[in-house]
Amino acid sequence: MNNFLGALLFLTTLPLPRKTNLEFMPDKIRPYFPLVGLLLGLIVASFDFFMSHIFPNSTVAWLDVIMLIFLTGALHLDGLADTADGIFSHKSMEDKLKIMKDSRIGTMGVLAIVCVLGIKYFGIKGIDNNRFLIISLIPAYSRTSMVIAMKFLGYCRDMGTAKGFFASNVKLNEFILFACIIFISLCLGKDFFLLNSVFFISTFLIIFYYKKTLGCITGDTLGCMCEVIESILFLVLS
């Protein structure tokens, strides 16, 4: 429970009791990323269901996007912006990593945020069938993509916020919760078969791109991956 609470505290802004004796161990909270994502999805899906009785679908979709930002404290959007500024700078790997470390946001970072939020908005807006289930599940998939990336790529920096996540190798048993989510989703119909197919293809394409571009990953690129995967899944499922 301490590790699950640690995952909630790290990935969300939910008003949780903060134990003073809670030891934050990043590599121990990794298995709970899918569960945290599922909880976020359930909150947003419930919010979506309630708001759909008050506002038109286009308004509700934008409110859902804002709710996701609020629940995560824009943690992953910050990584998206920094990654876009670095990767699209057309400079050496060392310079890209320096740019990503800069707290200032550049043109590519702004464009990346606008594009991703736009895709996410139109994706959610276009979902009709299984809307509650789709909105519930996609945040679990997007957060699991970060753990998959940690398994296949090393960490770029000597220090950093995400350094602790690489203190130990990611083991297959860390994906048990995610395997349960996949099993349940595959029993729900063809939409969810599509969800799983697109998820794995997109995740490994991004990992391959990171491998080719940087040769490793950082906390920023993990956050970027989460946002991009989430947007792709919402768009495809629409």
Q: Is residue 7 part of a domain?
A: no
Number of domains in the chain: 1
pLDDT confidence band for 18 (50 / 70 / 90) = low
How far, in whole angstroms, is CA 173 from its chain's centroid?
20
What does the block give as tokens for 235? 């768009």
15 backbone φψ class: left, alpha, beta (φ>0; ψ -120 to 50): beta
* Rg from Cα positions in the chain: 17
Torsion of CA 199, 201, 202, 206, to 10 degrees: 130
Q: Is residue 5 part of a domain?
A: no
The label of the residue with tokens 């606008």 reads 114
- Position 122 pLDDT exceeds 70: yes
Alpha carbon distance 66, 18 (integer Å): 25
Q: Is residue 15 part of a domain?
A: no
Contact 194, 236 (CB under 8 A): yes
The angle that helices 33-51 and 57-72 make with each other, rounded to 10 degrees, is 150
Contact 192, 185 (CB under 8 A): yes
Specify the pTM.
0.93
Q: What is the pLDDT of residue 21?
A: 58
Which sign, positive or negative, has the C-alpha torsion 161, 164, 169, 172?
negative
Look up the domain containing 106 and give its range: 33-237
Residue 142 Cα distances to 21, 91, 106, 154, 233, angstroms: 30, 28, 25, 19, 9
Q: Is residue 162 part of a domain?
A: yes
The string of pLDDT tens digits covering residues 24-71 is 788 899 999 999 999 999 999 999 999 999 999 999 999 999 999 999
Q: What is the pLDDT of residue 138?
A: 96
Q: Is residue 132 part of a domain?
A: yes
Q: Is residue 20 part of a domain?
A: no
Q: What is the pLDDT of residue 22?
A: 62
Q: What is the pLDDT of residue 156?
A: 84
Q: Is residue 8 part of a domain?
A: no
- Position 20 pLDDT exceeds 60: no
Q: Is residue 6 part of a domain?
A: no
3 state SS for 16-85: CCCCCCCCCCHHHHHHHHHHHHHHHHHHHHHHHHHHCCCCCHHHHHHHHHHHHHHHHCCHHHHHHHHHHH
The string of pLDDT tens digits covering residues 195-216 is 999 999 999 999 999 999 888 8
